[in-house]
Amino acid sequence: FLSLVAEFCCGFFVILILGNFWFLAVLYLLWLYLDWETPCAGGRRSQWVRGWTVWKYFREYFPIHLIKTSDLNPNHNYLLGFHPHGVLVAGAFGNFCTGASFKNLFPGLTPYLHIMPIWFGCPFFREYIMSAGMVSASKESVSYVLSNKGGGHASVIVIGGAEESLNAHPGSLTLNILQRKGFIKMALKHGAHLVPVFSFGENELFKQVANPKGSWLRNVQEKLQKIMGFALPLFHARGVFQYSFGLIPYRQPIHTVVGSPIPVKQNLNPTTEEIDQLHALYLQNLSKLFEEHKRNYGIPEHKSLIFE
């Protein structure tokens, strides 16, 4: 969905350049130059955009639900680790960039969904995603959000990143997280409490072409991901009037469960051992969150998370 909107925005920009409105394109390029750092400085959200009626229908289509398991004190800043990435990341967008569900459940907290910096280089599209509450996933951006001295900020990071989207098959419970410790270091440096978040149903929205590790397709996808910075999963779902083939996601319920916070004491220069220790604790809490709620959302008793 984001890719389609981005392509439309880029196409519109090209039309401005080639048409009789090139001067508007020049003015926008000037604005882009002056505003380039905004995605790393908290963005520029719009409650009007976040409250569009279309998002209500978007959430109800699946439907998308946000489940609270513990209070989050607004006097602290938090780093929410979102799992899994899936293909669409619908749970993250629907819960943290639209409507009032998060605000009602966690009053006093403002969520910031961090996404790949490359998206903010797209003309016009960058204005749209910032208005929804999305900001860059760069270190500078995360630091800006978590440095709020009064607390009340929540960085939402999809820990598995684009690479994890290649594992987004129905029933898959594989998370790319064992080597991802940058978010742990950021939490320690800023004293931001860590909160594991698991979105049940995220991998059920699309069917992806089989791409087991070691296959030629997976090798090509991984090479392209390293070159371009984002993955290219080959997926399909349903159409508008039929359910056999199309790019519209299946209507599968998504339940995004927000776990209990892990208190983190600020440490400006954490050692490798301290990072590893907190990372292990985070994995433990994430597994516990999954195990406690999997029965409620159709996960067989014998299945558990796989970390790689």
Which of 4-18, 223-237, 239-253 tops mean pLDDT?
Answer: 239-253
Dump the DSSP string for 280-297: HHHHHHHHHHHHHHGGGG
Residue 155 sits in the same domain as residue 29 = no
pLDDT at 22: 64
Tokens found for residue 180: 């991802």
Residue 178 sits in the same domain as residue 297 = yes
Report which residue type is found at 32. L
pLDDT at 156: 98
Residue 47 sits in the same domain as residue 28 = no
Residue 44 sits in the same domain as residue 25 = no
* Mean pLDDT to the nearest integer, 179-202: 98
CB 303 within 8 A of CB 294: yes
Residue 129 sits in the same domain as residue 51 = yes
Residue 26 sits in the same domain as residue 46 = no
pLDDT at 8: 54
Residue 212 sits in the same domain as residue 239 = yes
**Number of structural domains, the chain?**
2
Contacting residues for 150 by C-beta, under 8 A, at least 6 apart: 75
Each residue's pLDDT tens digit, 118-153: 889 888 888 999 999 999 999 999 999 999 999 999
Q: What percent of the chain has pLDDT over 90?
A: 74
Cα 115 from Cα 122, distance rounded (Å): 13
Other beta carbons within 10 angstroms of residue 113's beta carbon come to 24
pLDDT confidence bin for 280, thresholds 50/70/90:
very high
Name residue, tokens 């519209």.
248
Other beta carbons within 10 angstroms of residue 120's beta carbon come to 26
pLDDT at 17: 64
pLDDT at 10: 60
pLDDT at 252: 95
Answer whether residue 201 shows pLDDT above 90: yes
Name residue, tokens 């981005």.
6
Residue 119 sits in the same domain as residue 221 = yes
pTM of the shown model: 0.91
- Sheet containing strand 78-83, strands side by side: 64-68, 254-258, 193-200, 78-83, 153-158, 110-115, 134-136
Each residue's pLDDT tens digit, 205-239: 999 999 999 999 999 988 888 877 777 888 888 88
Answer whether residue 9 shows pLDDT above 60: no
Cα 208 from Cα 170, distance rounded (Å): 8
- Range of lowest pLDDT (45-49, 53-57, 99-103, 137-141): 99-103
What's the mean pLDDT when you consider all of the chain?
91
Tokens found for residue 202: 């995220």
pLDDT at 12: 55
- State the maximum Cα–Cα separation within the chain, in Å, rounded to a whole number: 63
Q: What percent of the chain has pLDDT over 70?
A: 93
- Residue 3, domain extent: 1-35
- Range of lowest pLDDT (97-106, 139-148, 192-201): 97-106
Tokens found for residue 136: 């860059």
Phi, psi of 3, rounded to the nearest 5 degrees = -65, -40
Residue 224 sits in the same domain as residue 279 = yes
pLDDT at 205: 95
CB 212 within 8 A of CB 180: no
Residue 279 sits in the same domain as residue 203 = yes
Phi, psi of 206, rounded to the nearest 5 degrees = -140, 160
Phi, psi of 31, rounded to the nearest 5 degrees = -60, -40
pLDDT at 76: 97
Residue 4 sits in the same domain as residue 119 = no
Residue 158 sits in the same domain as residue 247 = yes
Q: Which DSSP state fits 192?
A: P
Closest CA to 257 of 97, 92, 114: 92
Using CB atoms within 10 Å of the CB of residue 96, give its burial: 0 to 12 exposed, 13 to 18 middle, 19+ buried.
Answer: buried
* Mean pLDDT to the nearest integer, 288-306: 96
Cα 103 from Cα 61, distance rounded (Å): 21
Contacting residues for 167 by C-beta, under 8 A, at least 6 apart: 84, 160, 174, 175, 176, 203
Answer whether residue 195 shows pLDDT above 80: yes
pLDDT at 5: 56
Contacting residues for 199 by C-beta, under 8 A, at least 6 apart: 82, 83, 84, 86, 91, 92, 254, 255, 256, 257
* Mean pLDDT to the nearest integer, 17-24: 67
